[in-house]
Structure formats: structure tokens, C-alpha cells
Amino acid sequence: MSFSWRKKNRKRQSLLWMLMMRIDPPTKVIMNLWKKEQLDVWGSLRASVP
């Protein structure tokens, strides 16, 4: 019983993985933009602090 449940769970995980892989490129772009924004914020903060 638990074995079949595990099998189902694995299938669900693989589906989730496929979805994540499909979504990945846009999220990577967003993350890069976000990191850039953060760097800019840190740079301006450092510049404003004497």
C-alpha cells in the first residue's frame, strides 16, 4: 500500500519538476533582475553613507 502511494508521489514530483523546468527560464530572468535591483540598492545605500 505504502509502495503504491510512494509511486504516485514520485509521479506527482516528476510532474512538478517538469512544471518547474518549464517555468525556470522566466524565473531565472526575474531572479537576475531582482539581484541587479538589490545590487543597485546596496550601491546607492553605500554611496549615501559617508
pLDDT tens track for 12-31: 778 877 777 777 777 778 88
Residue 48 lies in a domain: yes
What's at 36, amino acid-wise?
Answer: K
Sign of CA dihedral 34, 38, 44, 45: positive
Name the grid cell of 33: 533582475
Residue 15 lies in a domain: no
Residue 13 lies in a domain: no
Q: Which of 9-13, 20-24, 35-39 has the highest mean pLDDT?
A: 35-39
d(CA 9, CA 2): 10
Q: Which domain holds residue 32?
A: 24-50
Largest CA distance in the chain: 66
d(CA 28, CA 12): 23
The SS3 of residue 50 is: coil
Residue 10 lies in a domain: no
Indicate the number of domains in the chain.
Answer: 1
Residue 35 lies in a domain: yes
- The answer on pLDDT for 41 being more than 70 is yes
Q: How confident is the model at residue 5 (pLDDT cuts 50, 70, 90)?
A: low
